[in-house]
Amino acid sequence: MSSGPSDSSTPSSRLYGPAAGDTGRWRRWFSFATFRARIFWSVIPIVLALLMFHGVMDLREHRRLFTEEFTRRGQAMAGNLAYSGELGVFAEDRQLLESSMRGVAGDPDVAYVVIYGEDGKILAQRPGKDSALEGRTWELSVEEKGRLLLERRPMSKTAGHFVEFLAPIQTEAARSPDETLLGRLPKGPGAQPEKRMIGVVRLGLSLSGIEQRMGGLVRLWAGVTVVFFLLSTIAVYFFSRRVTGPVKRLTEHAQKMGRGFLEETVPVETRDEIGQLAGTLNDMAHALKGNIRDKERILAELQDLNRTLEDRIRERTAELEERSEALQRSLHEVRAMGEISSAVSSSLDLTEVLDAVSASAVRLSGSDACGIYEVVRNTFTVVATHNLSREFVRAIEGADPRQGALSRAAEMGQPVQFPDLAAAQDFALRDIILREGLRALLAVPMGSGGVLRGIVLYRKQAGPFDERAVRLLTTLANQSKVAIENARLFHEVRSQRVRLETLSRNMEQLYRLSTAMQEPLSLKDQLARVLEAARQVVRIDRFYIWVVSPAGDRVAALVGAGFSEAEREEFVGVEIPLADAGAMAEAYRTGVPLAFDEEHPVPPELRLAPPYSERRGLRSKAFLVVPMIARGRVVGLLTADNKVGREPVPAQTAALLQIFASHAAVAIENARLFHEIEDKGHQLEVASKHKSQFLANMSHELRTPLNAVLGYTELILDNIFGEVPPEIRDTLERTRSNGLHLLGLINDVLDLSKIEAGQLTLSLGEYSVGEVVHVALSSLRSLAEEKKLQLKALVAPDLPPGMGDERRITQVLLNLLGNAIKFTEAGEVTVEAAAADGWFTVSVSDTGPGIAAADQQKIFEEFQQADSSSTRRKGGTGLGLSIARRIIELHGGRIWVESSPGQGSTFRFALPVRVEAQDR
Amino acid sequence: MSKRILVIEDQEDNRRILRYLLRSAQYEVIEAVTGEEGVDLAERERPDLILMDIQLPGLDGYEATRRIKSNAALRHIPIIVVTSYALSGDDVKAFAAGCDAYVTKPFSPRQLLATIREYVP
């Protein structure tokens, strides 16, 4: 039986169980590791057990049968013998007995026969040949006898190796032997003659026969079992081989596949699971093959690629190396340039820059010295040097530039070099340079705008300057040009900046000044500020501000700056009549600033007249007079002077001073105006107070007598003094109505006056529009009825409560309603009231004659009626509407009329529902 | 017993009118010409109502009203201020002084009586 490969490197071998080599083989058989062993150990024991079971059962059965037969035979034989020996025993005839015995003794199994007589006497005996019988006693035991007597039939017992059958020999008693020999009498049923035991037969049968036979059977069975066992084993072997064979083959195949041999296929022999597995394995092998082929292909491709890549890389590397070298070279150059650039841009100070440039030039070009020169108007100017001695510089500066290399280079427009100055012929500066210890020279011009400039490199060693050095120097020259330009620009910018700063400072001062002007300072303080500011900006020692009197006849000193205490005192309150004011008068007259200084002294006619000229502060020879003009009028003069008359006051300063002057003028003018306003204000207040007082008085004075008149009349009319006759009543009533009219007029006039004086104050309170309408209507109803006019009211329901002066509003409505009734001859007068969006709108419409458009505006003015002739007819002062308008406007509302001639009129007013404060 | 009304008014005519009016309405009339006199009379006579004019010589109507109203014994007497002062704020001043009602001149006699009857039925 082959086993699988035992190397544990491939996983498949592990399935084969433990151990390697032959030593494990037997163990394997006894374990359950292999398939075969498993089958074996499953099947064989069963088979064996079955066989054994069967065998045992069979043997037992046989044994039983044998024993049964044996026993039967034995018993039968014993019985027969007992029967046949009856006579012999009876007769005690040995020979008879022996002959009977002979028949029995022929049986192979019979070992011995013993026939006993009645008393147990051995009558005949045929001893067995068995060795086992040696020493045996043949006596019939008492028990045996007893039993036989009792049972009267054969019994058996074992005695060692034999089975004995004991049969009683019986006879029918009381017969003589002769009777017996003669024959038997037939016995009838029930007639049972008593039998008598006369002897015993002991028949010993040897079990050896049975045993032999059994032995034979056992051997047979054993043989069968063994044969079956072997057969089964072989069958199992072959069977399992049939199973494991293919499996092993498959396994081997799989292992081969695992190791890479994919070409062989497993023969698919059967259709069963093994076959399927084989098939599957084949498929797998195929797939793997394909896979591997693919992989190999890819590998080949990769290798190809790799090769190509390597080639490319090699190429590229070579390229790169080339490039890198080139770069290195450029880098050097660039670095050099960089140094130069940084030197050039490191500072805006030209000298620094040029020093740096010359230093860099020397270093980068490997020279020994460098000089940067400027040729201005035929002189050499050494701008910057590096490693050049002072003597050299001095010598160069003294030399004639036209002889220099630079001039030559500039002429030629390109760099010029002298590889060996010792050999140079017509070079004037040769010796100077040689003395310095320098033998080679390279000059590069960098002219810029008319000025010849250039850089010159020097070397101690003779020899030409290489291409690189020339290139370097040219670059340097260019860069320096730029640097110089920059430096120049920077300088310019800086000076501009200084100028700008000054300007801005001036502006600042002016600004501060104008803001200061707006502060509520006294005029003097304001002017003092102006002067202070001016002093800061203009750098003039002393200022003074003079104010021209309103009459224009004198100037008064108001404020000064820059004076000492003592000098100032001399000024306080000084008033100079213009006639004596000299230059100041002139400036005042012309409105043009005047300036005097050393070059333009004060002409005699413009000098200050004494005694003013003696004043210390006014004695200067160099001064400015600037008129301060506001609103086209010269309101004052600003004088500015230098104590010592040092320099002329520059024009710029004069201009600035004019600005300050105008500021001051504004301040003065403002102050004056302010005073005026204050005064007027006072006056107004006083006037207003008077007016109020007057109104109060008038009101009282006018009404008092009128009250009396009306009062008395009323009394009479009320019949206080008795019944009034009709004619008198009529007269009195007319009197009364006239009086009332007069009262109305007075009230109106007073109202208007109050309104004019701004004295009318609304007393605001809650009111109901409906109520107001109602009151107005009821007051005038009788009047309307008199004229047979219809009075209608259309008041919207649920009008909100209003806030306003109820009395005045009622007054307005009464006025409008009164007018409507007055001017309408026939028809109706309607009052409407509504509210919307927080406003009340009340209108009074009539069917009167209407009002022409031209008159519609007029009627709201005082004392105007559309037609003055109708005034007298209709009555009324013509004040009502204007008062009404004022009242409505005080409420923040509006009143207007809609009308056209012949169409009647509608007067409407609208006012806010709630007026919290009256509208001034 | 008829009710008594104190009239404090400096104008002769006005006093007369009031006198006639009030008497015709069955009131008894006491008259004072100045504010001070009015205050005295008020104290002495304890009228049922006072008609006070504002423009009075010496003590003006406001002050007189104040004085009367600050007098615990007289505080209960209703004071109706009667004046022809037209300037706004007069009514406010009058009420501030403590008056109970305010009537402007010229007054309607009927209305005045009606107002009086409110306080002195």
Query: What pLDDT, in 10s, does the model give residues A710-721?
Result: 888 888 888 888
pLDDT at B7 over 90: yes
Backbone region of residue A714 per phi and psi (left: phi > 0; alpha: psi in -120 to 50; beta: other values): alpha
Residues of chain B contacting A720 with CB distance shorter than 8 Å: 20-21, 24
Q: Which of B88, B106, B109 is opposite residue A703, by nearest beta carbon?
A: B106
For residue B84, give the chain A residue with the closest CA.
Answer: A700
Greater confidence (A780 vs A506) lies with A780
Phi and psi angles of residue A893, each rounded to the nearest 5 degrees, phi first: -110, -160
pLDDT at A109 over 60: yes
- Report CB contact under 8 Å: A708, B55: no
Residues of chain A contacting B85 with CB distance shorter than 8 Å: 696, 699-700
pLDDT at A186 over 60: no
Residues of chain B contacting A695 with CB distance shorter than 8 Å: 86-87
* Beta-carbon contacts of residue A318 (< 8 Å; ≥ 6 apart): none
- Report CB contact under 8 Å: A711, B11: no
pLDDT at A907: 93
* Entry pTM: 0.38
- B55, amino acid identity: Q
Greater confidence (A392 vs A187) lies with A392
pLDDT at A299 over 90: yes
Q: Give the confidence band of A351 by pLDDT, cuts at 50, 70, 90.
A: confident
| A711 CB within 8 Å of a chain B CB | yes
Q: b/e per residue, A504-525, with b = 16+ CB within 10 A?
A: eebeebbeebeebbeeeeebee
Residues A110-169 have pLDDT tens digits of 788 888 887 777 777 777 555 566 666 777 788 888 887 788 777 888 777 778 888 888
How many angstroms away from the CA of B6 is the closest CA of chain A?
A: 18
Rounded Cα distance between A463 and B121, Å, is: 146
Phi and psi angles of residue A245, each rounded to the nearest 5 degrees, phi first: -55, -60
The candidate with the shortest Cα–Cα distance to A168, out of A140, A133, A189, is A140
- Find tokens 């045929």 and name the residue: A126
How many CB atoms are closer than 10 A to CB A879? 19
Q: Give the confidence band of A448 by pLDDT, cuts at 50, 70, 90.
A: low
Residues A792-846 have pLDDT tens digits of 899 998 889 999 988 889 889 988 998 898 888 888 999 999 998 999 999 999 9
Percentage of chain A beyond pLDDT 70 is 85
How many angstroms away from the CA of A533 is the closest CA of chain B?
A: 55
For residue B10, give the chain A residue with the closest CA.
Answer: A704
| A722 CB within 8 Å of a chain B CB | no
Residues of chain A contacting B16 with CB distance shorter than 8 Å: 712
Beta strand residue intervals within A597-707, DSSP E: 622-630, 633-642
pLDDT at A81 over 70: yes
- A111, amino acid identity: A
For residue B26, give the chain A residue with the closest CA.
Answer: A720
- Report CB contact under 8 Å: A700, B85: yes
ipTM for the predicted complex: 0.80
For residue A705, give the chain B residue with the closest CA.
Answer: B13
Residues B51-83 have pLDDT tens digits of 998 888 888 888 999 999 998 888 899 999 987
pLDDT at A369 over 80: yes
Give the single-character DSSP code of A796. Answer: P
Q: What residues does A114 pair with on adjacent strands?
A: A125, A202
Residues A657-682 have pLDDT tens digits of 888 888 888 888 888 888 888 889 88
| A775 CB within 8 Å of a chain B CB | no
Integer CA distances (angstroms), A70 to A100, A165, B89, B97, in order: 20, 10, 170, 170
Among the ranges A140-144, A270-274, B79-83, B90-94, which has the highest mean pLDDT value? B79-83
Mean pLDDT over all residues of chain A? 79
How many angstroms away from the CA of A634 is the closest CA of chain B?
A: 50
- Report CB contact under 8 Å: A699, B87: yes
A vs B, Cβ pairs < 8 A, gives 77
Residues of chain B contacting A703 with CB distance shorter than 8 Å: 84, 86, 105-106
The candidate with the shortest Cα–Cα distance to A442, out of A408, A471, A419, A468, is A419
pLDDT at A619: 66
Rounded Cα distance between A804 and A395, Å, is: 108
How many angstroms away from the CA of A833 is the closest CA of chain B?
A: 28
Among the ranges A309-323, A499-513, A621-635, which has the highest mean pLDDT value? A309-323
- Report CB contact under 8 Å: B11, A714: no
Within 13 Å and on the Cβ side, how many CA atoms surround A320? 6
pLDDT at A298: 94
- Report CB contact under 8 Å: A696, B85: yes
Tell me which H or E stretch contains A596.
strand A594-596
Task: Tell me what the mean pLDDT of segment A367-390 comes to.
Answer: 80
| A288 CB within 8 Å of a chain B CB | no
For residue A713, give the chain B residue with the closest CA.
Answer: B17
- Report CB contact under 8 Å: B109, A750: no
- Report CB contact under 8 Å: A761, B88: yes
pLDDT at B105 over 80: no
How many angstroms away from the CA of A875 is the closest CA of chain B?
A: 21
- Report CB contact under 8 Å: B20, A695: no
